[in-house]
Amino acid sequence: MKAPAFDYVRAASAAEACALLARLGPDARLLAGGQSLLPAMNLRLASPSVLIDIGRIAGLDGIEVRGNTLHIGALVRHETLLRSAAVASHVPLLTEAMRHVAHPAIRSRGTIGGNLAHADPASELPACMLALNAAIEATSFSGTRTIAAGDFFTGLFQTALEPDEMLTGIQIPLPAAGFFFQEIARRSGDYAIVGLAASGGRLAFFSVADRPVLFQASEALDLDPPADLQATAAMRLHLAGVLRRRALTALGLQP
């Protein structure tokens, strides 16, 4: 299928994108890498009347350590994140997780901002943000606020972003503790059936609910996962328990 007709406008700055969002209203959508939005439009699951292309806004594609925080611009592409030496040395959980995100063609276009704003519950990066206790920068015409990752993912493909807000960056406190990342998927590059991203004692599961779910290492799993064509709820619960045991062993936190 082809996407329904839409208008297209390219924003030159975050301020312009936010002004356009405010002016054009909820029928307008930001276009970053297009790797989730365009397939959804082609399948007629989304039909925005206007696309606001933010892909060429300068200054939102940096990765930088400032003090004890890693700053990542919203337009950093998945492949850049995967290959970043700064990310590998300071937040290796992200490097490991990125190996499991889609395929090279998609990684060369998809952005971290688009991925987090899309809020797919089976996606690796939202769970990493929870495990890493990241803060997400949301910018609107009236300024920028930060939202804790724990408050950002509010439901199935839902976030705390207001309709006139754009995700402009991510701040990750440099983790001191060890990390663990594993996912169980049918094929390499597929979305996970169940996955776990852990930083120290913070265990964030994905593909087990309508959003990523955080547990402390000491907590028992309390999950009611969905069933679908890939797995029953009982299978997901079992796999989450397996990943939890593996993580606790790997992190020296003994189950």
The binding site for ligand FAD (CB under 6 A) comprises: 29-37, 39, 54, 74, 101-102, 106, 109-111, 113-115, 117-118, 123-125, 161, 166-167, 191
- Return the SS3 of 120: coil
**Owner of token pair 């087990």:** 208
Identify which of residues 240 and 251 has a Cβ nearer to ligand FAD in the complex: 240
Of 136, 130, 139, 133, the residue nearest 162 (C-alpha): 139
Identify which of residues 204 and 251 has a Cβ nearer to ligand FAD in the complex: 204
**Owner of token pair 């990750």:** 172
Query: Residue 36, exposed/middle/buried by CB under 10 A (0-12, 13-18, 19+)?
Result: buried
Strand partners of residue 116: none
Of 59, 40, 61, 64, the residue nearest 51 (C-alpha): 40
CB of 79 to ligand FAD, least distance (A): 11
Q: Which amino acid is at 126?
A: P
CB of 97 to ligand FAD, least distance (A): 9
Identify which of residues 8 and 252 has a Cβ nearer to ligand FAD in the complex: 8
Identify which of residues 113 and 200 has a Cβ nearer to ligand FAD in the complex: 113
Identify which of residues 41 and 251 has a Cβ nearer to ligand FAD in the complex: 41
Please tell me the distance from the alpha carbon of residue 9 to that of residue 51, in angstroms, as a whole number: 6
CB of 42 to ligand FAD, least distance (A): 10
CB of 252 to ligand FAD, least distance (A): 29
Please tell me the distance from the alpha carbon of residue 38 to that of residue 57, in angstroms, as a whole number: 19
CB of 149 to ligand FAD, least distance (A): 15
